[in-house]
Amino acid sequence: MRDYRKWPGVVSRPGDWLKPVRYARRPELYFNQEREEHREVEASITAPLQFGDRDKDAFVRDVEALVREAQRAAMTTLAHERRSFMGEKAVLRADPFASPTTTRPKYQLNPRVAAGGDSEALKQGILALRDFRERYREAWRKFRRGVKCVFPAGTYLLRRLYGVYCEALDAPWCCRAPATG
């Protein structure tokens, strides 16, 4: 099956951004099924917040077109390189606990920041990451001592688990570029 929408299991599509909340059955292997509230989980799929100003129907059409084009390009690349596509049956036969047999390359970049060749953007990204880590580390030290503190914007798990206070996210690089022309 070369179309991601036809694969078995839970697959999210841009059109799901327009649909109401869905429910997925949890696997019995990992979850206690004796209590009703443990049997299903609520799944709400929403469009990225930075695109909230766009018409949702038009946005879904645009993203679906981009996904179709990316899928076509991937298939073209595979054909050009004479590589095959791992189909549904092969994926289902694969051991879900297996790991790659190749060793991870050492002493190579493991980028946390990508700038598409823009050296100034790369420099700014690295500085922003360094600043985030320093401020996070300081907030973490205070938090561990029980001191009230504010974590830098971008802190996620601690906010979800412990409700820590975080700065507002001011990330213009994360927003949709204005239309030109």
The domain spans of the chain are 4-93, 134-168
Cα dist. 21→18, 31, 70, 89 in Å?
A: 10, 21, 27, 30
Alpha-carbon distance of 26 to 150, in angstroms, equals: 35
CA 117 to chain centre: 22
Going by pLDDT thresholds of 50, 70 and 90, the confidence category of residue 61 is very high
Structure-token pair, residue 66: 């981009």
Q: What is the pTM of this model?
A: 0.48
CA 164 to chain centre: 22
Give the pLDDT confidence of 94-131 residue by residue, as tens digits: 898 988 888 877 877 767 888 878 888 888 889 989 99
33, amino acid identity: Q
